[in-house]
Structure 1
Amino acid sequence: MRLLLIRHGQTPSNLKHLLDTAAPGPALTPLGEEQAAALPEALADERIEALYASTLLRTRLTAAPLAARTGLEIVVRDGLRELSAGDLEMRGDREAVETYLTTALAWSDGDTGRRVPGGENGVEALARFDSVVAEAAATGAETVAMVSHGAVIRTWTAARAENVDTAFAAAHGLGNTGVVLLSGAPDSGWRVLHWEGRPVGPEEGGPREGGPAGESVGDAAG
């Protein structure tokens, strides 16, 4: 299965570099709407057969143009929502963002019992995302698009893909409507083919910004 993990379009909280993870969350900015509108053309070569989004408003708005172009229903699943910021919700200071991101990336490195203060731990977060991926795989669709969130996409990918590790995820951000393309299956494993359109390899370059959940650990908001 080809799995396209798509980060949502820009939101007002992204502009302020805030950890905004609670439901229903903000809508898109005008730029975010433009980014969402550009997705169907950007993904025109992909024969998407199933389209998923998280329960947060921004992902459903981002998925809407794809749904209109493909004629697919948006399947909304809570398992694709952003990693809960817990007690750090709506903070944008460096300490909060670094705590959030380093905790999430520790899960990718196997420390899944670690918990975001007042939020979830890695066992809970990875399991809920796994369940949606398994559901999509069970449909038999050859190409599935999931509109989700920066931190959970990076964390899950580093935890589950054989060729992307925690160091890569820490150094490489994911911009708004950035896409991580994987190939594989829940039972046989996953491999990242492209990260924001670039083949994954040792020559890969620096991070992309776009709010705390999408930026590298070193670029956390201050």
Structure 2
Amino acid sequence: MRLLLIRHGQTPSNLKRLLDSAAPGPGLTPLGLEQAAALPGTLADERIDALYASTLVRTQLTAEPLSRASGLDVVIRDGIREIAAGDLEMRGDDESAQKYLNTAFAWSSGDTALRMPGGETGEETLGRFDAVVAEAAKTGADTVAMVSHGAVIRTWTAARAGNVDVAFVAARPLPNTGIVALTGSPEQGWDLQLWEGRPLGR
């Protein structure tokens, strides 16, 4: 299966650098709407068979243009929502942001019992994302697009892709509507093919 993980378009909280993970969350900025509108063109060469979004408003708004262009209904699943910030929710300071990412990347390195302060463990976060990917794989779709969130996409990719590590994703923040492409299956594992539309090594 080809799995396209797409970060949502820009939100007001992104502009303020806030750890905004609670549902339903904010909508998109005017730029975010433009970014979402550009996705069908960006993905014109992809033959998408199934389209998913998280329970947060920003991913559903980002998925709407793809849904219209492809004729696919958007499947809404809580499992691909952002990593819950817990006690760090709506914080915008550098220390909180670093603690959030350090915890998430520790999960990718195998310390999945670690808990985000006041939030989830890595087992819970990766497990819920895994469940949605497994559900999509069982449909038999060749290419699945999931509109999700930056931190959880980076964390899950580092944990599940066999050809990249935490250092790779830690050095590459995913921009709004940035796309990560993987191939594989829940049973055989995953390989990262593209990061922000570029092959590995470029």
How many angstroms does 1:198 deviate by?
1.1
How many angstroms does 1:18 deviate by?
0.3
Matches within 5 A, 1:1-222: 1-201=1-201, 204=202
TM-score by length of structure 2 reads 0.99
What are structure 2's unaligned runs of at least 5 residues?
A: none
TM-score by length of structure 1 reads 0.90
* 1:114-168 CA distance string (max 9 Å, x none): 1110000100000000000000000000000000000000000000001110111
Q: Aligned partner of 1:26: which letter?
A: P
How many angstroms does 1:199 deviate by?
1.0
RMSD of the TM alignment (CA)?
Answer: 0.5
Q: Aligned partner of 2:38: which letter?
A: A
Q: Aligned partner of 2:32: which letter?
A: G
Q: Aligned partner of 1:7: which letter?
A: R
* 1:152-206 CA distance string (max 9 Å, x none): 00000000001110111111110000000000000001001000011113xx5xx
* 1:61-91 CA distance string (max 9 Å, x none): 0000000000000000000000000000000
Q: How many pairs align?
A: 202
What are structure 1's unaligned runs of at least 5 residues?
A: 205-222
| SS of residue matched to 1:45 | coil
**Structure 1 Cα separation of the partners of residues 197 and 133 of structure 2:** 21
Map of 1:211 onto structure 2:
none
Q: Aligned partner of 2:128: which letter?
A: R
| SS of residue matched to 1:156 | helix
Identity %: 72
Q: Aligned partner of 2:4: which letter?
A: L
| SS of residue matched to 1:18 | coil
